């Protein structure tokens, strides 16, 4: 195994902790962390014999971990593209693949910023020196950002200002700490950090931000499909709604 791959699996091991026979390991996009912590608690209450272990990272990183043999039972990504890649590699049970939530991409500023940023074009201003955005090669939020900037004809112009981050939460942290004048994150992230950042505007996208979930093809826990059903259930959807996610078509919240 290559050193980089070893490091990747080691990072997974630290995040997921040792898995026991009745453990259900869920790898979820970073933006789902708080919502899935609560979903996991609710699932465990309904299924006391199953302990759910949560591993969060950028969706692209989660895909790499799964492809390299990490013990994952359920994969939840912040986009369809990453799940498509997992499906192409036969890493998931596509018969149980579902779209379970929607979100929005927004531009945020530090809470105390006096800069007036209302459009993507405003990011060209000399007063905007640094912009936090996920790496488009592995972070769905970064890919959505790149697509929006390319459509607006601004990607090449703004690229020197962009600070590439490992996941959407790191982009949020840079803005919250005032290390960048602006950043691209999800609406749900901005809500979680509303005491430190404010939303400047929502970014228009050709492809909506939609989240996908599926049992891993090599899932060792037979409850994987049951967990997916729980996320789509009224109980799971109500928790997602609490954290600002919108229901996907076909999913219902109370």
- 113 known ligand binder: no
Q: Annotated binding residue at 225?
A: no
210 belongs to an annotated ligand binding site: no
Q: Per residue in 204-228, is it b (16+ CB within 10 Å) or e — as a string?
A: eeeeebbbbbbbbbebebebbbbbb
Contact between 169 and 33 under an 8 Å Cβ cutoff? The reply is yes
Rounded CA separation 175/51 (Å): 35
- Three-class secondary structure of residue 67 per DSSP: helix
Q: Do residues 159 and 150 lie in contact, with contact meaning Cβ atoms separated by under 8 Å?
A: no
**Contact assessment for residue 4 and residue 34, using Cβ atoms and an 8 Å cutoff:** no
Q: According to the annotation, is 243 in a ligand binding site?
A: no
Alpha helices in 101-202 (DSSP H): 140-151, 155-158, 168-176, 187-192
Find out whether 59 is annotated in a ligand binding site: yes
Q: How many residues does this entry show for the chain? A: 254
Q: Which residues are annotated as a binding site for molybdate?
A: 31, 59, 141, 168, 186
Q: Which residues are annotated as a binding site?
A: 31, 59, 141, 168, 186
């Amino acid at each position: 195994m290559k050193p980089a791959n070893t490091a990747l699996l080691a990072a997974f091991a630290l995040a997921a902790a040792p898995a026991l026979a009745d453990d259900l390991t869920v790898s979820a996009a970073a933006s789902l962390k708080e919502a899935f912590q609560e979903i996991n608690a609710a699932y465990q209450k309904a299924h006391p014999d199953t302990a759910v272990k949560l591993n969060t990272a950028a969706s692209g990183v989660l895909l790499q971990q799964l492809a390299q043999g990490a013990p994952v039972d359920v994969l939840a990504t912040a986009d369809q593209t990453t799940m498509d890649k997992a499906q192409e590699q036969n890493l998931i049970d596509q018969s149980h693949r579902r779209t379970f939530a929607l979100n929005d991409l927004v531009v945020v500023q530090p809470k105390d910023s006096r800069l007036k940023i209302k459009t993507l074009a405003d990011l060209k201003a000399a007063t905007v020196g640094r912009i936090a955005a996920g790496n488009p090669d592995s972070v769905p939020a970064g890919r959505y950002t790149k697509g929006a900037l390319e459509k607006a004809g601004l990607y090449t112009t703004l690229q020197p200002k962009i600070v590439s981050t490992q996941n959407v939460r790191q982009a949020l942290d840079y803005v919250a700490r005032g290390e960048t004048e602006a950043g691209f994150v999800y609406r749900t992230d901005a809500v979680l950090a509303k005491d430190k950042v404010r939303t400047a505007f929502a970014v228009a996208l050709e492809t909506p931000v939609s989240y996908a979930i599926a049992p891993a093809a090599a899932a060792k826990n037979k409850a994987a499909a049951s967990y997916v059903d729980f996320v789509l259930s009224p109980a799971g959807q109500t928790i997602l709604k609490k954290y600002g996610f919108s229901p996907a078509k076909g999913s219902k919240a109370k």
